[in-house]
């Protein structure tokens, strides 16, 4: 039964249409499955190559991910219209711009833990998987809060301004991960071996499972990405609240 059959006021009709889900559960299942397959192929190809990722190969893979994102943007335009496609593209550009800081932090993390180049790609891929899960949860919570308490957008805006001021006037310098809260937690509660075991995140040492330095680096990567998400997600909410 269609809404057009009922003589509703235009304001009420718009409210009803906004409340009706415009994206089916099958779309989200297909989207998440596509991301999972792409990440699996990316990780499997690197493992099959069996050598350090060159700058040329890294650039090619980055270009492939950008092309896939733009193709998805075309799909959004086809299914949801040009306005939603523009929102997605704007949010994508903002997220991509803000992610430049992540790159430098990840380089510092790998240098601090002395992660071999061969193992860096695996840590990044699994770090991305963890980041996708955590950011997905944060986005859903954020959308729910904004839909119920619209003033939260102003709080997000104030938070971004404060963050920008701190970045502008704060002291520059490399973070000391050894004194961070996450490292203190790992040292106190998780058994850690000082040696790398190939690309494994954990290893069995003296009949005891222990976290390798690569596993600790993965935890730090996910925590740092969660910290960066606190800045980037409110910025995207300023563009759209559509998950």
Query: What is the predicted pLDDT for the residue at 74?
Result: 92
Bridge partners of 202?
211
pLDDT of res. 241 = 66
Q: Residue 184 pLDDT more than 70?
A: yes
* Better-predicted residue by pLDDT, 129 or 48: 129
Q: Is the pLDDT of residue 16 over 50?
A: no
* pLDDT higher than threshold 60 for residue 172: no
Q: What is the pLDDT of residue 192?
A: 85
Residue 210's beta-bridge partner residues? 203
With 70 as the cut, is the pLDDT of residue 24 above it?
A: no
Structure confidence by residue, pLDDT tens digits, 66-124: 898 899 899 889 888 888 888 888 888 888 877 777 788 888 888 888 888 888 888 88
Alpha carbons 58 and 125: distance in angstroms, whole number: 13
Query: Is residue 145 pLDDT above 80, yes or no?
Result: no
DSSP states along 109-166: HHHHHT--HHHHHHHHHHHHHHHHHHHHHHHHHHHHHHHH-TTHHHHHHHHHHHHHHH
Residue 119 and residue 40: Cα distance in Å, rounded?
16
């Amino acid at each position: 039964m269609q809404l057009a059959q009922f003589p509703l006021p235009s304001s009420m009709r718009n409210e009803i249409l906004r409340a009706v889900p415009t994206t089916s559960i099958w779309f989200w299942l297909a989207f998440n499955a596509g991301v999972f397959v792409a990440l699996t192929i990316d990780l499997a190809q690197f493992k099959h190559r069996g050598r350090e990722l060159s700058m040329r190969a890294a650039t090619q893979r980055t270009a492939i991910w950008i092309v896939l994102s733009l193709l998805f943007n075309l799909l959004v335009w086809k299914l949801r219209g040009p306005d939603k496609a523009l929102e997605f593209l704007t949010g994508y550009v903002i997220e991509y711009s803000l992610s430049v800081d992540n790159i430098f932090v990840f380089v510092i993390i790998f240098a601090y833990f002395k992660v071999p180049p061969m193992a860096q790609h695996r840590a990044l891929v699994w770090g991305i998987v963890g980041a996708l899960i955590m950011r997905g949860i944060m986005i859903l919570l954020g959308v729910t809060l904004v839909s119920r308490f619209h003033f939260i957008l102003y709080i997000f805006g104030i938070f971004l301004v404060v963050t920008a001021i701190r970045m502008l006037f704060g002291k520059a310098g490399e973070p000391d991960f050894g004194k961070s809260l996450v490292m203190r937690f790992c040292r106190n509660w998780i058994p850690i071996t000082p040696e790398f075991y190939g690309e494994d995140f954990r290893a069995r040492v003296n009949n005891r499972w222990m976290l390798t330095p690569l596993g600790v680096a993965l935890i730090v990567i996910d925590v740092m990405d969660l910290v960066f998400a606190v800045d980037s997600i409110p910025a995207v909410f300023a563009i759209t609240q559509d998950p």
